[in-house]
Structure 1
Amino acid sequence: MTRQAAEPTAVAVERDGAGRHIARELRPGAFLAPRPLRPAPDRLRLALVGTRAGLLAGDDLRLHIRVGPGARLELTEPSGLVAYDHRGGTSSWRARVEIEEVGELHWDARPFVISEGARVERSMTVVLAAGARMLWRDTLVLGRSGERGGAVRATTHATYDGRELLVEDLDLRDADLRELPGVLGPHRVIGSVTALGADPGGPPHPYRTALAGPGAQIRLLDTVAPAIEADLAAVWEEWRAVTTG
């Protein structure tokens, strides 16, 4: 199926000379619309609200986020995203994040569900300047209730001050391979909290991975979403307190 041309969702936040946070750009795209939330004294708070039911074959969801020098942005998602049966087609989800010097982004993402028959390419590109920070919570769910789940390849490429910080290619397109012992086994929920540009500190964690620079990641696997979401929420709150500038 031919991929549909879709306008990207664009968010640009800056801080003026008086220290106020200003949204220079809040442009809704074909799938997500940024909506202001209750103001906070030290940051801009936005919700990414879905404008379509989910991803279908041929869909291309694009998201561009820029945080200016010294600015702080908090993104939340009121609901998750579902990729439905693509009936032999493919879809894509592509995000690019740019955070300038001493800027900060906290992105609390909701679960991304890959339904049976879906085939999704997902990519996250993060460019951090010196002193910039990002905290990202992310959950992939392979299939709705009773489903084995569709195919997804999720790539992440993050740089800090011009150097690679996190490069990951999570290829979960082959259900037989991903269900092998030592890969995912019986698990179909993959959740993580990732700190980029700042060491979150805290007590040792058995599933914590240090990055190739300032930052760390905790990734958890489970067969159902509620348990893993509760564990990730605890990590998120702990790390948010540490990574806030």
Structure 2
Amino acid sequence: MPTPINPTRIEVVADPVRDRCLLTTGLLSPRRLQAADGVVRVALVAASALLLAGDQVEIQVVVRGPVRVEIVETAGTVAYAMRGGSARWDVSVQLTDGAELSWHGEPFVVSEGADVARSMTVEMETGCELAVRESLVFGRHGEIGGTLHSSQRAHLDGQLILAEDLDLTPAARPGWAILGGARCLDSITTLGRRLPDSPDTLQLEGPGSMVRRLVQDQHLSDLAQSWAASSKPDKISECS
């Protein structure tokens, strides 16, 4: 039987005196961390063993007003062999009134025998910004890795600015237009602003960019430097 969906929710509302923050635990537990002025920083910690057959992880992020929220993951996630079962990992983001969100994801490892559907949907207004780093790793040491279907949709002021569906099954991944001989797909996506032009940066039709690395091992990717370069100076905020 599937694990009942109990959403993990991070809701932050800007306030002139003290920004308000409501954190709700699901299969992941959000916890406030100390942060520099201008930032609400939240860590995501697994509240139970993840990711197993039947798990349905749902993460909701809502940020309203001129406040910067940073989400960090304390450890990578391993999708284990599911013996014919499957699991889901769904993220929804809403940004309004000048909100900013930065989310640095740790490696998401799809073990041999795993079957995962992973999605992210974003609704944002002009003046808001989003930056996400995502690292997908196929197989633990010596494994080919399981099945992953990935979907992304983003709207700015109701207009679609990003739509992507990736078939990352073992049969499809070796294609030259997918991973080729690589084992890891490392990505940085920005919405609401563009990264500097470079030969390996895809500029979206709307305000946004995507840069990717295909590497054998996640630590070989150079996107850590790109992520640091894309970060912004901190501002002021508190979470209660």
* TM-score relative to the length of structure 1: 0.92
Shift of 1:180: 2.7
User: Structure 1 residue runs of 4+, over 6 Å off?
Assistant: none
> Residue 148 in 1 paired to residue 150 in 2?
no
Equivalent of residue 231 in structure 2, options 220, 225, 240: 240
Partner residue in 1 for 2:202: 209
Query: Displacement, 1:87?
Result: 0.2
1:87-112 Cα shifts (integer Å, max 9, x gaps): 00110000100011210000011010
The number of equivalent residue pairs is 235
Residue among 171, 177, 180 paired with 2:175: 180
Match of 2:219 among 223, 226, 240: 226
User: Would you say 1:21 and 2:16 are equivalent positions?
Assistant: no
Q: Deviations over 1:175-205 (max 9, x none)?
A: 123213333111110000111111232xx43
The equivalent residue for 1:192 is 187
Matched position secondary structure for 2:121? strand
Q: Deviations over 1:106-139 (max 9, x none)?
A: 0011010000000000000011112110010000
Alignment match, 2:112: 116
Kindly indicate whether residue 77 of structure 2 is the aligned counterpart of residue 81 of structure 1. yes
- Return the letter of the residue paired with 1:33: S
Larger proportion of helix: 1
> Do the aligned partners of 2:38 and 2:234 also contact (CA within 8 Å) in 1?
no
Q: For the Cα contact (< 8 Å) 1:116–1:148, is it kept in 2? A: yes
The residue aligned with 2:238 is none
Secondary structure, counterpart of 1:167 in structure 2: strand
> Do the aligned residues in 2 keep the contact of 1:104 with 1:134 (CA within 8 Å)?
yes
Cα 1:39/1:180, change in 2 over 3 Å: closer
Unaligned runs of at least 5 residues, structure 1: none
Residue 106 (structure 1) aligned with residue 102 (structure 2): yes
Q: Return the structure number with greater relative CO, CA threshold 8 A, min gap 6.
A: 2
Letter in 2 for 1:119: D
Counterpart of 2:208 in structure 1: which amino acid? G
The alpha carbon displacement at 1:243 in A equals: 11
Q: What one-letter code is carried by the residue in structure 2 that aligns with 1:72?
A: R
Per-residue CA deviation, residues 23-51 of structure 1 (Å, 9 max, x unaligned), is: 1x10111x211111113210111101112
**Which runs of 5 or more residues in structure 2 are unaligned?**
236-240
State how far apart, in whole Å, the 2-side matches of 1:43 and 1:168 are.
30
Q: Confirm or deny that 1:40 pairs with 2:40.
A: no
On the 8 A contact 1:3/1:58 being kept in 2, the answer is yes
* Matched-pair identity in %: 38
**CA RMSD across the alignment:** 1.6
Contact 2:148 2:167 in 1 (8 A): yes
Which residue in 2 is equivalent to 1:66?
Answer: 62
Does 1:12 pair with 2:42? no
